[in-house]
Structure 1
Amino acid sequence: MRTWIVVAAAAAVVASATMVSVVTVLSDEAPPAGPGPAATRTGVQMRAPETRMPGEPFRIRGRASIEGASLTGLPVHLQRQEKESGEWVEVGSTDTRHHGTYSFPALTLDEVEGTSTFRTYVDPGALDDPVVSEPREVQLVPQTVGVLVQPRLIDPGTRPAPMSAAAARGVVTVSPARAGRPVEVYQRPPGSQEQWQPWESVETDAQGHAYFRAWEGGEYKAVAPAWHGVAEQTSLAGGLAGTPARTPTFLDEFDTFDPANWIDRPGQDVYGAGATTMCAKASPAARKVAGGVLALGVLPDPDAPEPCTQGDPENGPLQHVLQGHVQSTTFTQARGWFVARVKFQSGKGSYGAFWLSAEGYGRGSAETDIAEYTGASLWGDSITANWDADGSSFRSSPQRFRYPDPLVGREFPIGPRYQSAEDAYHVYAVHWTASGYDFYVDGNLVGSVQDQSAYNPGRVVLSNLVRDWNQENLRDLDTAAGQAAYVVKVDWVAVYEE
């Protein structure tokens, strides 16, 4: 009997890291033209996982169909291919159930068997020829467990605090990823031979990661206990000691306003500096340091009480406004961690920001707004991040996203429920790498931008800006209480190399 084999690649389905293969056999030659009996059509699908760890059970499932015949009780055979001879050896058999589905008992792979290739076939007897599925390889992969401690990124709270009070971000990575796998984290003094002490119990997410608070005075290891047939696995020790994440390349905890660290932003200290800031300028009168905090404010210019006529009349009546706007004096850095603990303003009409500004424009330069806050009463309690790299001297590639909105009350893997950006200090950070940017709030990843066009060093910028179009929202700047609503408080700033 002559057969026709058609592989329906378009019908392949990938779900939950499983591969599906479909092979269809058409028998009895091609169907004759005109009236007459139609050819029978048999198909078999097989699903198998792509990877498994030694001892980790898995099932091979699928569906068989035969046109014109009952779907229930159709024999299905499972075969494994011998590595040396290439021959197929039967592993087991079963019958189809409702709608032609089938499932074999759980299998496991061990170090002896290693990666294995399986296929299923259906023998419908006199109705058709035997039909074989596409073979599928189940790869045996070793499990690995790692611990990485990243800079101090975790310290939400309503009061100022020294940077030493911030916890570092501990990351456990278990591979291959299995959501919900329990992991025990242990701690001891760095470099010591003391007994490991239990630190925290965590579970992996769908990417195989779990998170914990870590401290400079400790090193950590992670133990993934035996789980679903997989043996226990332990990581090497990890900590801040001896890593770039321990010692900042730039640090200011604002005991004073240090001119060696900060300068009022050049070019922005005059009116008319930008198309949307014609009536506001950076001024030392709008910033001060007290109690270990840099306060960036907004206030009317006492030397220019008359209305500002430089702005767009469509923005309504405008006044001359002084604003806190500083940048690092000489420090620049390309890539690494840029971190600040900030409490944003509550009034609408200004927006606070922590950002990076490249030197000049052109190829390789970027503006990276790590966190911007416009006030809960304007656009909701949302933090936005903007990234704008000049990929060539003629093209700009802006990207913008909001942090999870709303943030208030949101539970993250690390830390307590999020309090409003204007009610509490939070640690905002960006991790700038060769492949792009990862944005964090209190040690929790909230967004990523993948792009490689920016590579020029950037300066750190802290600002509380008033755009002309937003002046209509300013309230009571002529009173102390009104001015207090427009203050961005920066507790500390730290930068680390990659």
Structure 2
Amino acid sequence: MSRTTRLASLLAVASVTVACSSSPSSDGEAPVYRTSDDVQARVLPQIAANGEDVEAADDALWVVDATIDGVDEGTTVTLLAKADGQWESVSDAETDADGHVSLTSDTAGKLTVVAGDGADAIGTEVSTDDAPEATFTDDFDEDDVDGKDSTWHTRAQGFTGVRQCSRADASAAEVTDGVLVLSVLEDPDGGECQLPGRRKRFPQRLNGHVGTEGTYGFTYGYAAARIRTQSARGQHAAFWMQAVGGQQTGGPKAGGAEIDIMEYFGDDHPEGGLTSFTYYLDKAGKKQTVGGWLPDVDELGDDWADQYHVFSVEWTPSEYVFRIDGQVTQRLEGETSGREEFLILSLLSSDYELPRFNGELPESMEVDWARVWATGP
């Protein structure tokens, strides 16, 4: 096929809209399409699961990451799965400006990605068997915090840094009914704290702040947590990682990095409330920051404190890809941490947030599960 003919065919595909009610497969029959190198797809782990109820990590949805070359933005792509001998459409979405789309499936096994319809349909086949296997899972069904055999331990660092008015404490982290609950509490043994340059005084606070340092770490792969955040401002929910043994100078590959997979600063935040960052120390020991506020947060949801969402990072030697329920929210390309990293979950009330506090203590975030799919270097 000539380049001109192929391009004309792709433009025809771009003009077709595929909907769940009119999928490339009819009456459960196998989808009809032309296999094309212009459709690239891979199956990611089970990193999509939004909803109000607690769910097992094994019940989350697989995510199919697909790119269709040469099509217009807004082209609909359909994911089909075979269940009980019948093919059915399980997900569809429109491509972005780069031809990229994220699709989900609750059905394991063979999956088909199709763009277009009829004689113009092109596609490819993938399988959930090709997704990475989980290497660490905590559903918080039995695991407690700070016990002899616990995976998670309170990061009791005292009053330090930007938290001179708050400190981590074991009483602010509790596992109950299959959920890790992290809270900001008023310190019953504390006094009042006055921030520099401000007349108002604030009661000292206790923060839920736990990590797996000394019990679990990994290098490269996927890390995800299913989280329901706090609603009020004045504290931020976070899922993050730090280098085992602490960050060192020399850049991220040699010195490691802090990888802030998600931070949520409360409802009605002027910037949307969600961030993803990485921090590292360059060769001179100067802190470098990459990332920022997530744009277009409203397109991802506005129910962070009402429903659980899966926040994840795909960490490779050349990039970090941040996702919410499988949808790419930020891609940071370049050298990444080359060190082993451990997991951290926290609800922290930093000093700079306290003047914006608009809730009632205790404030809490809930973590349904945390999971890692380590791929190694």
1:295 paired residue number: 181
1:385 paired residue number: 276
Structure-2 separation of matches of 1:224 and 1:475: 47
Structure-2 separation of matches of 1:202 and 1:332: 35
SS of the aligned residue for 1:494 comes to strand
1:254 paired residue number: 140
2:323 paired residue number: 440
Q: How does 1:482-497 map to 2 (within 5 A)?
A: 482-484=360-362, 486-497=363-374
2:25 paired residue number: none
2:272–2:294: 8 Å Cα contact kept in structure 1? Answer: no
Structure-1 separation of matches of 2:139 and 2:241: 18
**Larger RCO of the pair (alpha carbons < 8 Å, separation 6+):** 2
1:225 to 1:323, Cα distance in 2 relative to 1, 3 A: closer
- Deviations along 1:65-97, one digit per CA (max 9) or x if unpaired, are xxxxxxxxxxxxxxxxxxxxxxxxxxxxxxxxx
The reply to whether residue 397 of structure 1 matches residue 291 of structure 2 is: no
Structure-1 separation of matches of 2:78 and 2:357: 51
Shift of 1:201: 5.2
2:8 paired residue number: 57
Q: How does 1:224-303 map to 2 (within 5 A)?
A: 224-225=115-116, 232-235=121-124, 237-244=125-132, 247-258=133-144, 259=147, 260-266=150-156, 268=157, 270=158, 272=159, 274-303=160-189
SS of the aligned residue for 2:52 comes to coil
- Deviations along 1:275-332, one digit per CA (max 9) or x if unpaired, are 321231111111111121111111122223x3347x6464742433211000114211
1:54 to 1:365, Cα distance in 2 relative to 1, 3 A: same
The reply to whether residue 158 of structure 1 matches residue 52 of structure 2 is: yes
Structure-2 separation of matches of 1:350 and 1:200: 36
Structure-2 separation of matches of 1:349 and 1:203: 37
User: Equivalent of 1:174, from 52, 68, 73?
Assistant: 68
1:149–1:238: 8 Å Cα contact kept in structure 2? Answer: yes
Paired letter, 1:340? A
- Deviations along 1:83-112, one digit per CA (max 9) or x if unpaired, are xxxxxxxxxxxxxxxxxxxxxxxxxxxxxx
1:450 to 1:318, Cα distance in 2 relative to 1, 3 A: same
Structure-1 separation of matches of 2:90 and 2:186: 52
SS of the aligned residue for 1:483 comes to coil
Structure-2 separation of matches of 1:382 and 1:308: 25
Paired letter, 2:229? F
1:382–1:404: 8 Å Cα contact kept in structure 2? Answer: no
* TM-score between both structures, scaled by the size of structure 1: 0.61
**Alignment gaps of 5+ in structure 1:** 1-50, 59-141, 413-417, 477-481
User: Equivalent of 2:233, from 348, 353, 364?
Assistant: 348
1:152–1:167: 8 Å Cα contact kept in structure 2? Answer: yes
Shift of 1:462: 0.7
1:431 paired residue number: 314
**Alignment gaps of 5+ in structure 2:** 10-35
Moved over 6 A (4+): none
SS of the aligned residue for 2:313 comes to strand
1:184–1:198: 8 Å Cα contact kept in structure 2? Answer: yes
- Deviations along 1:173-201, one digit per CA (max 9) or x if unpaired, are 33344545554533226xx9x56545455
Shift of 1:351: 1.3
2:256–2:280: 8 Å Cα contact kept in structure 1? Answer: yes
- Deviations along 1:30-80, one digit per CA (max 9) or x if unpaired, are xxxxxxxxxxxxxxxxxxxxx93644439xxxxxxxxxxxxxxxxxxxxxx
1:331 paired residue number: 216
Shift of 1:454: 2.3
The reply to whether residue 464 of structure 1 matches residue 320 of structure 2 is: no
Structure-2 separation of matches of 1:226 and 1:471: 55
2:316–2:336: 8 Å Cα contact kept in structure 1? Answer: no
Shift of 1:207: 2.1
Structure-1 separation of matches of 2:305 and 2:353: 19
Shift of 1:150: 0.9
- Deviations along 1:143-164, one digit per CA (max 9) or x if unpaired, are 4323321112222222322223
Structure-2 separation of matches of 1:471 and 1:55: 59
1:216–1:239: 8 Å Cα contact kept in structure 2? Answer: no
**Percent of aligned pairs with the same amino acid:** 27
1:361 to 1:376, Cα distance in 2 relative to 1, 3 A: same
Count of aligned positions: 337
Shift of 1:224: 4.2
The reply to whether residue 144 of structure 1 matches residue 38 of structure 2 is: yes
User: Equivalent of 2:305, from 405, 415, 422?
Assistant: 422
Root-mean-square deviation over aligned CA pairs: 2.9
The reply to whether residue 372 of structure 1 matches residue 293 of structure 2 is: no
The reply to whether residue 187 of structure 1 matches residue 81 of structure 2 is: yes
Shift of 1:493: 0.9
Structure-2 separation of matches of 1:145 and 1:471: 49
Structure-2 separation of matches of 1:214 and 1:170: 8
Structure-1 separation of matches of 2:76 and 2:349: 49
Structure-1 separation of matches of 2:327 and 2:136: 22
